[in-house]
Chain A
Amino acid sequence: MTQSAHKNATLAKLRLFGILPTWVSISLLMIGPLLIMAAVSLMEANVYGGVHPRFDVSSYAQILFDTNLFDEREFNPAYLIIIMRSFLLATAATVLALIIGFPAAYYIARQPDHRKNLLVFLITIPFWTNLLVRTFAWVIILGRGGFMDQVASFFNLLDDGGSINLMYTNTAILIGLVYSYLPLMVLPLYSSMEKMDVRLLEAGADLYANRVELVRRIILPLTMPGIIGGSILVFVPCLGAFIAPDLLGGGKKLMLGSLVQLQFATSRNWPFGAAIAMMLLAIVVIALMINARAARRHASYAQAEGGTAHD
């Protein structure tokens, strides 16, 4: 054996040694459980929790239909309403996060380096802190007699004993969702805005573009990957959110995430919970595909344009 072949064989062995623990643990504890969950979603429910290992698609049918006394399928909008609420709240949260996050991301991207790093760090801190605790903070703020009521009555905006009381409303859930995932919107936005060449804005201004046109025709197109990436990072966890609807919606205004949790905690209908979870997973896959397509398109655009335009 030549020395280089020997070296290659050692390298291959080292590679396997390095990668195997990760492969095994993620396959066994992530892919395995997801496959088992997919199987469970196609089985018959056991009323005491768990499943009967018999093939049955009724948990998917249950999303839209109920079985009545005569064993006929009847349209049941209860879960459809939850699905619609989840989509509406997730969309609203994404749009709000974009509106709140866009100017901040732009402003931070234009700061000198040392201040930029500090501000980005300040955005990431909430992301690393406990989501349950951060959402609970909103219970203190929005609840009856809470921080917001006290501020309002301090400014005489509230009658004695009155309350703005947003708790257990869709608005409260929406605030909680925006608050939970706002950092995930701003970070990708920031990174695409930081890459943007400000000389393009100067060129646009020289050609008599006003600020609105600069945003619409230069900043928005160039930061589209960040907008799409950030929107997906907010939209997907919002759909599967459990904490915000539970604490701020009082468990009455369910979203998909809370519906899944309920099937395993109290309702004991595993196949139905697994079916909803599969639905969430399918939405993630679609979102990732949209993201990959947008990134590819942007990359080829940057290659075609950027090659000649800069450097």
Chain B
Amino acid sequence: MTKTSPIKVASPSRFRPVWDFPGFSGLTIGFFAFLYVPILVLVAYSFNGSKFAMVWSEFSWRWYIKLLENDDIHSAAVNSLIVAFTAAPIATIMATLAALVMVRGGEFRGRDFTAGLITLPLMVPEIVTAVATLIFFALLNINLGLINVILAHTVFCIPFAYMPIKAALEAMDPGLEVAAQDLYADYWQAFYHVTLPLLTPGIISGFMLAFVISIDDFIITLMVAGAGSTTLPVYIYSMIRTGVTPEVNAVSTLLLAVSIVLVSIYWLLSSANRKGGAMG
């Protein structure tokens, strides 16, 4: 199917093309406002000098300074980083291996089953995964502190790491590997010298998405984490429950910033990939 790319013609609006619906641009602006205004309000209020979370007084850094002095937030943030820096790399390695098999491994028995298995963590509602994992750890008496959290995170990070890696592999010309093998490279050499370097942006993208998903996870961690394994989102939740102070706004803004920066890097990487692919 060919697509006609819509060409904007500088014409008076009475010659509006049929596919251009009046009012849709305004609705789209409203749509983006709905998505972003709450985030901007939260960020703005984190710089609010007032003692009350919701009443604006003046611009101030005081809540960020207060965050630096809060030991509980420190240890929660450290836990979050430990979990994300362990679960995301493990998930990325598994996802890379699985994507190589699924894209380059040819037809094999259990291929559809594997594809379903990888997407399973995306299908099951988070709360169901959370309580199932909780029951599993409790009944088997697996009580390893942060390791419990890491195990749970690794599983639901796999599909998020898998998607960009698989897409990058599919966009890659298999002829390059064949060419390497024609030049007497064995599987390993072809992989190490050709596939892996070309796949690196995809792998980094996968790692970053897995990292973001891990660091943002709340429900599963809330159910699985024991007393000493509080992560940042779980700590933010307890802060909200015990009474909203402006400190919550500040720590929430930091968490938002981490995700947005990482996802933006991912986007820049993948759009550079797209452009490179189009030129090559």
Q: Do B263 and A202 touch (CB < 8 A)?
A: no
* Cβ contacts under 8 Å, A243 to chain B: 218-219
Q: Which of A59-67, A69-77, A232-240 contacts B (4 or more CB under 8 A)?
A: A232-240
B100 interface residue (CB < 8 Å to A) = yes
* Cβ contacts under 8 Å, A104 to chain B: 24, 27-28, 31-32
Q: Do B95 and A22 touch (CB < 8 A)?
A: yes
Within 8 A of A (CB), among B231-257: 233, 236-237, 240, 244, 248-249, 252, 255-256
Q: Is the interface of B mostly helix, strand, loop or mixed?
A: helix
What is the CA–CA distance of A121 and B268 in the complex, to the nearest angstrom?
10
Q: How many A-B residue pairs have C-beta atoms within 8 angstroms? Tell me.
A: 275
Q: Do A137 and B39 touch (CB < 8 A)?
A: yes
A112 interface residue (CB < 8 Å to B) = yes
- A22-B94, A129-B216, A129-B260 known; A202+B19 contact, CB < 8 A: yes
Per-position binary interface string of chain B over residues 88-101, scored 1 when its CB falls under 8 Å from any chain A CB and 0 otherwise: 00000111011011
Within 8 A of A (CB), among B87-145: 93-95, 97-98, 100-101, 105-106, 108, 114, 117-118, 120-121, 123-136, 138-139
What is the CA–CA distance of A179 and B274 in the complex, to the nearest angstrom?
30
- A129-B216, A150-B56 known; A273+B38 contact, CB < 8 A: no
- A50-B139, A264-B131 known; A197+B41 contact, CB < 8 A: no
Q: Which of A223-231, A280-288, A293-301 contacts B (4 or more CB under 8 A)?
A: A280-288
Per-position binary interface string of chain B over residues 126-170, scored 1 when its CB falls under 8 Å from any chain A CB and 0 otherwise: 111111111110110000000000011011001000000000000
What is the CA–CA distance of A257 and B124 in the complex, to the nearest angstrom?
12
* Cβ contacts under 8 Å, B274 to chain A: 117
For B54, B127, B223, the residue with the greatest tally of chain A CB atoms inside 10 Å of its CB is: B127
Q: Do A280 and B128 touch (CB < 8 A)?
A: yes
* Cβ contacts under 8 Å, A166 to chain B: none
Number of chain B interface residues as a range: 35 or more
B82 interface residue (CB < 8 Å to A) = no
* Cβ contacts under 8 Å, A9 to chain B: none
Q: Do A264 and B94 touch (CB < 8 A)?
A: no
Q: Do A136 and B114 touch (CB < 8 A)?
A: no
Q: Do A11 and B2 touch (CB < 8 A)?
A: no
A162 interface residue (CB < 8 Å to B) = no
* Cβ contacts under 8 Å, A124 to chain B: 263
Q: Do A31 and B120 touch (CB < 8 A)?
A: yes
A23 interface residue (CB < 8 Å to B) = yes
Partner of B212, one of A128, A137, A179, A194: A128
Q: Do A280 and B28 touch (CB < 8 A)?
A: no
Within 8 A of A (CB), among B33-67: 34-36, 38-39, 41-42, 45, 52-56
- A26-B120, A137-B41, A277-B128 known; A37+B271 contact, CB < 8 A: no
Q: Do A113 and B5 touch (CB < 8 A)?
A: yes
* Cβ contacts under 8 Å, B108 to chain A: 12, 15
A101 interface residue (CB < 8 Å to B) = yes
* Cβ contacts under 8 Å, A198 to chain B: 3-4, 6, 19
Partner of A197, one of B1, B31, B95: B1
Between A and B, 10 residue pairs with Cβ closer than 8 Å are: A21-B93, A30-B132, A51-B139, A130-B256, A133-B255, A144-B54, A150-B56, A204-B18, A261-B223, A288-B123
Known: A14-B101, A125-B263, A140-B42. 13 other contacts (CB 8 A): A11-B105, A34-B132, A110-B6, A110-B19, A113-B5, A129-B255, A132-B236, A136-B240, A147-B54, A186-B31, A261-B223, A277-B127, A284-B124
